[in-house]
Amino acid sequence: MSADNAVETLSWSGCAVTGHLVMIDQTLLPSEVRYLECRDVSTVWEAIKMLRVRGAPAIGIAAAYGFVIGLQSTNHEDEGEYYRVAQQTAEYLASSRPTAVNLFWALNRMQQLCHSLRGELELTEITQKLLEEAQTIHQEDREMCRSIGQFGAKLLGEDVHGVLTHCNAGGLATAEYGTALSVFFTAQDMGKELHVFVDETRPLLQGARLTAWELMQRGIQATLICDSMAAQVMKEGRVHAVVTGADRIAANGDSANKIGTYSVAVLARAHGIPFYVAAPSSTFDLSLESGDQIPIEERQPEEITHGFGRQTAPDGIEVYNPAFDVTPADYIDAIITEKGIIQPVTFENINHILQVL
């Protein structure tokens, strides 16, 4: 599966004032590929909250389009109402999930453009400009993913054959090639054969349902393992590198990603295996000094006690269900961005790379 025939995670249909967002409902994969039409902002909010769209870059793109949808219901002759709805829409979409920084980054970008055009254009023209901005964010992500893959593939030398990844950081989490999976897809494009070990990624199995599916679509050799099997697979010498994505990266390089990533990083360090994070520059939150300040979403206990509709735990059991954990920068051998490779991961190197044009 090349980029030309890849499944399109997100797309826009129609014009700015009456069009709508179309996305794959990822909760139904891998057994069913169904597209969800988002014609109002509440549907976009629900899709982000319920992981119908997921992955930090894809969430940001969806939010940008959602901002446009929120403005469609306004009176385009009443400037005061238009800007009240713009603020309400941004706040509403921002409440959907707290950890993925791309959500807030995209909404801030849309709001800034919206306010910069106030009084300069007719309101219908502003909505059109906002749609164009959302489409620009979408296209920029495609280009960023390709660039991440080109930089990251260089880290997979001749001695790297077996790699491991956690959760899903592929095309389903972004606009096209993904972040972590872009490294593997680009290596494949260059003629390199990889064997990817895919953590199931409990409790919602993004690795089993999504990453395994994407890799099989590409014809890349993939082996699915339970999260708790990673140590044994590493001990057997099957894994030569680990590549994951990230949902938010602090100024010092501490990286939040799907729960279980920190465990993988600790195991990689124990076995002398390089651990790489692949993420676009928009995933960095330089306002946070360290990962201790990254908000961690806690999700409903039913995801554990009644996974996929079947009860697997006794009634009344106490549950702790954080959706993310934070891997300290000391455990990360390099962060792969669209602007270059940050190695070693330090505050100074992060700032240097992020300033590269």
Residue with tokens 């495609």: 142
- For 3-145, which CATH superfamily applies? translation initiation factor eif-2b, domain 1 (1.20.120.420)
pTM: 0.89
Question: Residue 99: what pLDDT?
Answer: 85
- pLDDT tens-digit series, residues 170-225: 999 998 899 999 999 999 999 999 999 999 999 999 999 999 999 999 999 999 99
Q: How confident is the model at residue 356 (pLDDT cuts 50, 70, 90)?
A: low
Q: Are strands 255-258 and 324-327 parallel, antiparallel or unpaired?
A: antiparallel
- pLDDT tens-digit series, residues 56-71: 899 999 999 999 999 9
Q: Which residue has the higher pLDDT, 136 or 3?
A: 136
Using an 8 Å Cβ cutoff, are 149 and 115 in contact? no
Between CA 48 and CA 63 the distance in angstroms is 8
Between CA 30 and CA 216 the distance in angstroms is 11
- pLDDT tens-digit series, residues 316-326: 999 999 999 99
What dihedral angle (degrees, nearest 10) is formed by the CA atoms of 99, 104, 106, 108?
Answer: -170
Judged by DSSP in three states, 277 sits in strand
- pLDDT tens-digit series, residues 15-52: 999 999 999 999 999 999 999 999 999 999 999 999 99
Mean pLDDT of 237-245: 98
Judged by DSSP in three states, 85 sits in helix
Between CA 240 and CA 271 the distance in angstroms is 10
Judged by DSSP in three states, 251 sits in coil
Mean pLDDT of 211-240: 97
CATH 3.40.50.700 holds for 148-354: no
Which sequence positions are flagged as catalytic?
247
Judged by DSSP in three states, 77 sits in coil
Task: For the chain, give every domain's residue range.
Answer: 3-145, 148-354
Between CA 57 and CA 55 the distance in angstroms is 6
